[in-house]
């Protein structure tokens, strides 16, 4: 259950739900904003503990007099933007030259697992709509292959039993856990639930994403591929590095 939800699964008032003092996350978030965000720009701002620092940096730039607006990927990020007086825009209301977001896993081909914060549907919408998608992470998020982190799958609540049955029928012995606290499900900003599915090593993210989305009731998966334009890795020293550009033949946008 999100820190911005009460024990009934409904949204409750909160402040900086993803606030933290991790110097590596701060370095990555700050670097992305300083490198790509310009005065007068509309920027997509993600959800999570590393994206938190990108939002914080944008807020500081606005406080210093710059005119930047944002499209947040969740109600949690929207609340933080409002707290920092960052003007908000809706998807495609304005051109979005860049979006900055974190990830739960980054593979060598820059495919991603996302959705640990529960905002995968809106995060993917912003990733698809922006011109440049910048991913900010720390070293532990870099993996040889996706699958160590359970795959978030956003589902329509009514279809939950069917989705669970079809995952078992099509993929075999996959541990599927409905996200939540006790009997109360986690409820996304779209009014849906999330299944966290333990597929193990994922060697073909596009194929798995396509197969899962063919199941009636699946809204989106946390598999992002052919979307990232840069991956910035923050380090504990407060420095950052950019991953080597990976070969890519096509994009999903």
Q: CATH number for the domain including 192?
A: 3.30.70.260
Judgement on whether residues 168 and 129 belong to the same structural domain of the protein: no
Are 110 and 170 found together in one domain?
no
pLDDT in tens, the chain (253 residues): 344 444 444 444 445 678 999 999 999 999 999 999 999 999 999 999 999 999 999 999 999 999 999 999 999 999 999 999 999 999 999 999 999 999 999 999 999 999 999 999 999 999 999 999 999 999 999 999 999 999 999 999 999 999 999 999 999 999 999 999 989 999 999 999 999 999 999 999 999 999 999 999 999 999 999 999 999 999 999 999 999 866 554 555 6
Please indicate, yes or no, if residue 129 is contained in any of the structural domains. yes
Closest CA to 225 of 164, 167, 145, 171: 145
2 within some domain: no
Same domain, 157 and 120: no
**Residue 92: inside a domain, yes or no?**
yes
Q: Is residue 52 part of a domain?
A: yes
Question: Residue 216 falls within a domain, yes or no?
Answer: yes
The answer as to whether 116 is a domain residue is yes
Q: For residue 229, is it within any domain?
A: yes
47 and 133 part of one domain: yes
pLDDT tens, position by position, 159-196: 999 999 999 999 999 999 999 998 999 999 999 999 99
Quick one: 96 and 197 in the same domain? no
Number of H helices, E strands in the chain: 6, 15
Asked whether the CA dihedral 141, 197, 91, 48 is positive or negative, the reply is: negative
Do 124 and 37 fall into the same domain?
A: yes
- Distance (Å, whole) CA 22 – CA 38: 25
Domain assignment present for 245: no
69 forms beta bridges with: 42
| Residues 124, 230 share a domain | yes
Co-location of 111 and 192 in the same domain: no
Domain count, the chain: 2
Contact in structure between 208 and 147 (CB atoms under 8 Å): no
How many angstroms separate the Cα of 213 from the Cα of each of 31, 94, 171, 223? 34, 29, 13, 11
What sign for the dihedral angle of Cα 65, 71, 74, 75?
A: positive
User: What CATH number does the domain containing 101 carry?
Assistant: 3.40.50.1360
Catalytic residues, by residue number, are 123
Residues 212, 231 within the same domain: no
Q: What is the tens place of the pLDDT at every residue in 109-126?
A: 999 999 999 999 999 999
Shared-domain flag, residues 185 and 102: no
Name the β-bridge partners of 152: 196
**38: burial class by Cβ within 10 Å (0-12, 13-18, 19+)?**
exposed
127 and 71, same domain (yes or no): yes
Residue numbers of the domain that contains 135: 23-142+225-238
Same domain? 27 vs 131: yes
């Amino acid at each position: 259950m999100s820190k911005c939800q009460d024990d009934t699964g409904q949204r409750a008032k909160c402040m900086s739900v993803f606030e933290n003092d991790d110097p590596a996350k701060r370095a990555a978030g700050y670097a992305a904003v300083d490198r790509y965000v310009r005065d007068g720009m509309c920027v997509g701002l993600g959800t999570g503990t590393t994206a938190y620092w990108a939002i914080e940096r944008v807020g500081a730039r606005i406080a210093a007099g710059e005119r930047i607006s944002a499209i947040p990927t969740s109600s949690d990020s929207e609340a933080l933007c409002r707290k920092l007086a960052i003007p908000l825009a809706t998807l495609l209301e304005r051109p979005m030259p860049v979006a900055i977001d974190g990830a739960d896993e980054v593979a060598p081909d820059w495919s991603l697992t996302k959705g640990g914060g529960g905002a995968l549907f809106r995060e993917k919408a912003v990733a698809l709509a922006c011109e440049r998608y910048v991913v900010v992470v720390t070293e532990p998020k870099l993996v040889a292959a996706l699958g160590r982190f359970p795959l978030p799958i956003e589902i329509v609540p009514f279809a939950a039993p069917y989705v669970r049955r079809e995952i078992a029928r099509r993929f075999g012995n996959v541990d599927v856990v409905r996200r939540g606290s006790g009997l109360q499900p986690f409820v996304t900003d779209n009014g849906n639930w999330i299944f966290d599915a333990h597929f193990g090593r994922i060697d073909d993210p596009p194929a798995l994403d396509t197969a899962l989305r063919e199941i009636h009731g699946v809204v989106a998966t946390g598999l992002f591929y052919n979307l990232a334009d840069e991956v910035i890795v923050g380090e504990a020293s407060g420095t950052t590095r950019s991953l080597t550009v990976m070969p890519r033949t096509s994009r999903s946008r």
